[in-house]
Chains A and B, each alone.
Chain A
Amino acid sequence: MRKAVLIFITKTNKTAILKHCLLITVFLVSGTLILKAQETLPSYQSEKFRSIDLNAGIGITYPHFYPIPISIVYQQNIKRGFSWILLSQFYAKFNEEEYVNESYKFFNWVEAAGIGGCLGNKSFNTGLYLVGGGRFYHTKTTVDNSEMFNEPTLVTNKLNPELGLLYNIKAGKKKLYFTSQIYISMFPFKNFTANLHTFSVGVGYRI
């Protein structure tokens, strides 16, 4: 089955992943050029630090990879080295799954708030946050062999609690900076390996 799944990944996602990797590269190069013209600002540790990050990357739910979740993180420091965040994450997929003979639509939206600590210096910062909130997902699956099925379409709409860990890195001395994050979805814990975890990179802006 694992081999079959890998073939499935290769067949359906290889081109899409390459396309999205190229987009991320362009995104980062553009960010680098913008960063060079920025002025120096207060450190990430400052009590007054507020920021908004925009990230894009890959979703990982064993044994699949899903391009390309988008996340927006608002961060506000409460006191030095301690902050709260708001996380919004979106992911949509519209595929023709040839290997299992069906069309599949998937939309996923996470909205969560969290608190955590960060450490670093003026040009580099790393933080870990515990976040909680909700996850809404919608799927629509239609089998190709509809004549063989009594109900050839399955629609799911569901709102679940969300609990996760967000680890992020910020780098840069300017108003715009690089950011990268790993989001580990912990709920439900028994489904941990197959939860939608994400790894993404992007740019942040000090407000």
Chain B
Amino acid sequence: MKKISKTHILFYLIGLSFLIISCEKELINPEQVKEFSILSTNTGSEYAIWVVLPENYNPGLTYETVYVLDANWSHMHYDKIAKITEQKCAEYNKQNAIVVGINNNENGRDMDFTPTVTSEGGGGSENYSKFIEFELIPKIESDYSVDTSAKGRVIMGHSLGGLLTCFFFTKHPDVFHNYITLSFGIWYDNDILLQYEKDTRASNAAINNVVFVGCGELEEWCVIRAKEWNYRLSTYYPNCKLDLRILANRNHIPSALENAESGIDFYYKNK
């Protein structure tokens, strides 16, 4: 009976530890979060948007904006990104930014984040980029007191969202000045984004954007491409500020938030 009790205690402790780990406290004061929906004329889809205002938001000041793709997903959740932004601003004694989280559901992102049509579908990046540039950004800039130049805008995306950040970098580099590209799905359609980069290289060579690329060491398919992306940007875009971080012992999803933090850190150091 004594041995059975010991084993039961062991099982109980393991269960309890998982329970404690799974409990998360609220990161952001709910009053800081403004939510609305926007029906895009460019994509035909409706998107939920979360705007996280800095604590003590003052309309008399001008704020930078961090646009977060997939902000409904746990590993890129808008409140986690907003908390990181708040902490980094405090660390560097800078004014906090407004975080704009975009809801991208599973089917929508496969269309919106991919540049070309393949046998699996996709091909909506151009329309989605128009949605962001001509519908979402103007709405945010009319409703809140934000920096309206590209320099005051950051785009952050993970996986296919990371692919979209590369799409902006190559095809619309004047919309965002700052890129946080995490575990990007640049393999899409036979590495088509690498071809886009080559095609637009001459016209974009003078840009001086801030680009952070992060991935996990255990996602080798991404590591090999992240190194290539970093090689190209460091070779052909001498004015860009670059950082590549390959996070040891992490895979695709677990690397996302840690690299997001490093990306925000890099942005505040180099903006």
Contact = CB atoms under 8 A, between A and B. Distances in A.
Contact of A148 (B195, B218, B258): B195
B217 A156 contact: yes
Nearest to A192: B254
Contacts of B55: none
B228 to A, nearest CB: 5
A137 to B, nearest CB: 9
Interface string A9-36: 0000000000000000000000000000
B254 A141 contact: no
B110 A4 contact: yes
A160 B218 CA distance: 12
B251 A191 contact: yes
A188 B248 CA distance: 10
A196 to B, nearest CB: 9
B250 A117 contact: no
- Chain B interface size, as a band, is 35 or more
Among B110, B254, B258, residue most surrounded by chain A Cβ atoms (within 10 Å) = B254
Contacts of B221: 97, 100, 102, 104, 141
Contact-residue bracket for chain A: 35 or more
B110 A148 contact: no
Nearest to B4: A119
Interface string A113-155: 0001111000000001000000000010101110011111110
B190 interface: yes
Interface string B188-226: 001100110000000000000000000011101101110
Contacts of B232: 150
A128 B253 contact: no
B221 to A, nearest CB: 5
Given A154-B220, A190-B254, A1 B185 contact: yes
A94 interface: no
Contacts of B11: 128
9 contacts: A101-B187, A101-B191, A117-B6, A117-B10, A139-B220, A190-B258, A191-B251, A191-B255, A194-B250
Interface of B: 3-4, 6-7, 10-11, 14, 106-107, 109-110, 120, 159-161, 185, 187, 190-191, 194-195, 216-218, 220-221, 223-225, 227-228, 231-232, 249-255, 258
